[in-house]
Amino acid sequence: MNGVHCQSNSKCKQQVSLIPELRWPTLCVQRGWRIPIEIMLDLRHLRKYASVVTLSEYLTLHNLQPSLEQGNGAWHRELYHSGSPSPSLAVIRNHEYDPSGVVRVDKMPPAPARAISTTSVVHRKLVQLRGEQLAIKLDDVKGPLKEIATWKNEEELETIIEDHGFVVLHTFAGA
């Protein structure tokens, strides 16, 4: 998208005003374009196949100003649920939604292709730490493994864990 198109269809904003959480090392002028979703996506075409409501439309339906829309993409519950009629939305916490025992991951790594040691001191320690749980937090492993293994960084620690029969999963925060 070129600058001329942006100028004719979008508002030029300073990045600091769009995403207030960002802390710029110096207050240099960072410019960006706030491009309406209707320009980025063919909503009329999309609505032939799915129900689509933009945030701006949602806010208008609830008698809220579209200018309340946050620039960082997060759903601002306090602002967006304060309209009238009050929405019947509820927050479903991960532990209420997911079946018990499920760990959500952003990708499932392949099983190690190399030979693994399931009889070593490290493997026995990992089994002991895990207990009846399905997963162990990496921070909970570091201390006890320091007594029996050495590593320079987390990548080396993950290799040690995988070499002893466990798979390292990178989970979504809060899951």
61 within a domain of the structure (yes/no) = no
Place 80 in a pLDDT band, splitting at 50, 70 and 90: confident
Is the model's pLDDT at 61 over the cut of 80? yes
Residue 96 placed within a domain? no
142 part of a folded domain: yes
97 occurs within a structural domain:
no
pLDDT of residue 166: 87
Residue 143 has pLDDT above 80, yes or no: yes
pLDDT band at 175 (very low <50, low <70, confident <90, very high): very low
154 and 93 Cβ atoms separated by less than 8 Å: no
pTM recorded for the entire structure: 0.42
Kindly state whether residue 59 falls inside one of the protein's structural domains. Answer: no
Residue 68 belongs to some domain of the structure: no
CB atoms near residue 130 (< 10 Å)? 14
**Mean predicted lDDT score pLDDT of the chain:** 76
> What is the domain range of residue 10?
1-43
pLDDT at 142 > cutoff 90: yes
User: What is the sign, positive or negative, of the torsion defined by CA atoms of 154, 155, 158, 163?
Assistant: negative
Tell me how many domains the chain contains: 2
Instruction: Judge whether 145 lies within some domain.
Output: yes
Q: Is residue 20 part of a domain?
A: yes
